[in-house]
Structure 1
Amino acid sequence: MTDRITLDVYDLRAAEYAEVTASEGPDATLQRFIDALPPGARVLDLGCGPGTSAAYMAQSGLRPEAWDASSGMVALAEKHPGVTARLSSFDDLTEIDAASFDGVWANFSLLHAPRKALPRHLREIARILRPGGLFHIAVKEGTGERRDRIGRLYSYYTEGDLTRLLKDAGLSPGAYERGRDRGLDGSLSDWISVTAHA
């Protein structure tokens, strides 16, 4: 993600975002992702936010590396025991060797990438996954690109969009999940998520 306005929002409101997304434990989707990986699996939390998901992965015996393009988020993520946090953007995926990770977790992060950039990001993710590796992606459901009430840039996708993009990248999507939640800007948004296999 390179949109400066979006990054400024996350830098300024990192602590507030951490409160909005706080949980008592991993949700069902994250728990299934963790359970499907081998013990000690190396996982990239791509767009990790405050590092909550990476922390649950570490507590479960996985080896998470947490990336975010917001310095405010990285500062929060690196406080979690067992989490290695790094200031990085989606474009930095090209620096990773092929077949380096057992899993990539991109939970409501790649929706901030421009739509035209997502195909190449997905190709890089497929490249860095080991054979049979898992890739989770969650996005807001819809079409087009637009900013929310507080200025963050979003790209919206339908199930058909994601299925096509994942398959084009060489990934096999599983069953989709849907929900509706209130975000940092206070609005309710529909979302879809899926875990794909390399």
Structure 2
Amino acid sequence: MIETSYNTAAADYHAILKDYTRDNPYDRAVLGLFAERVADGPVGDLGCGTGRITTYLDSLGLDAFGIDLSPGMVEVARKEYPELRFEVGSLFDLDLKDGELAGALAWYSLVHTPREDLPAVFAELHRVVRPGGYLLHAFKVGTGGYHVDHAYGHDLDLDVYCYEPADITTLLTEAGFTEVATFTHAPLELEKQPQAYLLVRVTP
């Protein structure tokens, strides 16, 4: 369902959102903080979509690469940003070594993941980030969720889940992360609800 929907919408998704970070001061501020904190080493944009955030991380001087579930999204990313590395993969089972990453990004890549599945994903993210490394997780604020039947000019079939920051912080702490900072902001033009960014660290 998720893979099929994003395979279908990949090209139009990119056309609509490719410059969104450039126009969003909150995104730029949080990604800048993340980039300042991450030490030398690879940074995985996990659930990278069409690579718009991966290339932004690269512009900030990070050694960034992307992984996404959707082959269609990865195909667009490789075409748009051929200088960067993109692979198809699942956040539940990453083809990465233990502690391989200096930093990881889950940038709205878990908005289609129900709460009962989040502990398994967070455990996998904790596995691949080295001690002292950072994870930045962006998500939609709220309780419950909604279904998307049409977006980016296509008929889709997607469930979207919203979470309270305190709840996500608890789950990340249980997975072995330590909270560094939490940010929220009111919805912008293309957004239906407040947005949250959680920066956490693997204990050195």
TM category (shorter chain) comes to 0.7 to 0.9
TM-aligned CA deviation for residue 156 of structure 1: 1.7
Question: Which stretches of structure 1, 4 residues or more, deviate above 4 A after TM superposition?
Answer: none
1:172 corresponding residue in structure 2: 178
Alignment gaps of 5+ in structure 2: 151-156
1:8 corresponding residue in structure 2: 4
Query: Normalising to structure 1: TM-score of the pair?
Result: 0.86
| SS of residue in 2 equivalent to 1:83 | coil
TM-aligned CA deviation for residue 28 of structure 1: 1.6
TM-aligned CA deviation for residue 182 of structure 1: 4.8
1:189 corresponding residue in structure 2: 193
Identity of aligned residues (%): 30
Aligned match for 1:156, one of 145, 154, 162: 162
Residues 147 and 159, structure 2, Cα contact 8 Å, conserved in 1: yes
Q: Aligned-residue CA RMSD in angstroms?
A: 2.0
Q: What is the rounded CA distance, in whole Å, between the counterparts of 2:181 and 2:133 in structure 1?
A: 16
Q: What is the rounded CA distance, in whole Å, between the counterparts of 1:91 and 1:34 in structure 2?
A: 24
Measured against aligned partners, the alpha-carbon deviations of 1:33-55 in whole angstroms (never above 9, x if no partner) come to: 1122234x201111101101111
Q: What is the rounded CA distance, in whole Å, between the counterparts of 1:182 and 1:76 in structure 2?
A: 25
Residues 74 and 87, structure 2, Cα contact 8 Å, conserved in 1: yes
Q: How many residues align?
A: 189
Q: What is the rounded CA distance, in whole Å, between the counterparts of 1:62 and 1:160 in structure 2?
A: 29
2:84 corresponding residue in structure 1: 83
| SS of residue in 1 equivalent to 2:160 | strand
* 1:35 partner amino acid: E
Residues 182 and 198, structure 2, Cα contact 8 Å, conserved in 1: yes
Residues 58 and 82, structure 1, Cα contact 8 Å, conserved in 2: no
TM-aligned CA deviation for residue 31 of structure 1: 1.8
Within the alignment, does 1:17 sit opposite 2:7 as a pair? no
Within the alignment, does 1:63 sit opposite 2:80 as a pair? no
* 1:196 partner amino acid: V
* 2:58 partner amino acid: A
Residues 43 and 101, structure 1, Cα contact 8 Å, conserved in 2: yes
Q: What is the rounded CA distance, in whole Å, between the counterparts of 1:38 and 1:12 in structure 2?
A: 37
* 1:171 partner amino acid: F
TM-aligned CA deviation for residue 59 of structure 1: 3.0
